Structure 1
Amino acid sequence: MNQPALAAAGLYAALNALILLWLTMATALVRRRHMVAIGDGGVEHLRRTMRGHANAAENMPVMLILLGLAAVLGAPALAIHVLGAAFTFGRAVHAWHFTHETAAQWQRATGFGLSVMTIAAAALGVFGHALTLI
């Protein structure tokens, strides 16, 4: 088993979990500030923070599954690190954008772009490697 690659996948799983916790807490703080228990209460900042949290919850599991599968299928640790670091940086920048009432558009675009590119690269890599093992 490729322990360094699995360890790298574990590292990025943990870092992304921390980003998800950050988004959870940011959402809770905005809810508390505006006293909104359910939904967004018509508060734009809460809607924005909730959307950032939901986006992370939608994208992180797919990438982390792909990183774990890539490691198990024999991807080199360097490949896991490159994809994992780019994805994690993208998710952090994306989260930063959504946790602030106003933020620069480049943050959202960078986060989205890195997320999509790394998920696509990981998916293609796992797909291609899986085909060679079937």
Structure 2
Amino acid sequence: MDPFAALHMAAQAAALWSALLLLLMLVLSLLVVRQRQTHKVEFGDGEVPSLARAIRAFGNAAEYVPAGIGGLIALTVVGAPPMALHIAGAMLLLGRTIHAVALSRSHAASALRAAGMLLTWLAYIFQIVALVIFALI
């Protein structure tokens, strides 16, 4: 395959997963705004548990998604195959979505929340290993 075509396909994969992760961030942000409007809270969480959970779900995603997107971009730059980007992107999006849903429902620890975090860490580990491999070959 033409190297430029391969790079283009990897860039498309990175763009797809970045867009989906940004969409997740937008949805989580809109859920915070909706809670703020519902409970008439302009700043902080107003000691409203559902608002506090929405804020934390967005904040947690904001802590993990940017590095994941950075990893997708770096994988593209080092010439990783598109399938590697699809695997990393899918794991990260699924992990962050599962975690956000679980966290939005309850502050308490849960198997669903743990599964979302584990999947996020696996996406990070996959990206780390792939980046090291493609950086050395």
Q: TM-score, normalised by structure 2?
A: 0.87
Structure 1's unaligned 5+ residue stretches are: none
Computed over aligned residues only, the root mean square deviation of the Cα atoms, in angstroms, reads 1.8
Q: How many Å apart are 1:100 and its aligned residue?
A: 3.3
The count of corresponding residues between Structure 1 and Structure 2 is: 132
Distance 1:103 1:26, change over 3 A: farther
- Within 2, Cα distance between the matches of 1:42 and 1:56? 21
* CA deviation string 1:66-87 (max 9, x = no partner): 1111111010111111111111
Deviation at 1:90, TM superposition (A): 1.1
- Which one of 23, 30, 34 corresponds to residue 28 of structure 2? 23
SS in 2 for 1:37: coil
Displacement of 1:43 in angstroms is: 1.2
2:44 counterpart residue number: 39
- The aligned residue for residue 116 of structure 2 is 111
Q: Which residue of 1 aligns with 2:11?
A: 6
Q: Is the aligned partner of 1:79 residue 2:88?
A: no
One-letter code aligned to 1:8: A
What is the rounded CA distance, in whole Å, between the counterparts of 2:21 and 2:109 in structure 1?
A: 22
Moved over 4 A (4+): 101-104
Q: Secondary structure at the match of 2:21?
A: helix
Give the residue type in structure 2 aligned to 1:22: V
Residues 90 and 115 of structure 1 are in contact (CA less than 8 Å); yes or no, is this contact kept in structure 2?
yes
Whole-angstrom distance in 2 between the partners of 1:50 and 1:103: 15
Unaligned stretches of 5+ residues in structure 2: none
Does structure 1 retain, via aligned residues, the 8 Å contact 2:97–2:116? yes
Q: How far off is 1:92 after superposition? A: 1.4
Instruction: Report the equivalent of 1:96.
Output: 101
State the alpha-carbon separation in 2 of the partners of residues 80 and 129 from structure 1: 13
Offset, 1:101: 5.3
Deviation at 1:128, TM superposition (A): 3.5
For residues 98 and 54 of structure 2, the distance between their equivalents in structure 1, rounded to whole angstroms, comes to: 13
Matching residue of 1:56: 61
- Letter of the aligned partner of 1:71 in structure 2? T
Shift of 1:115: 0.6
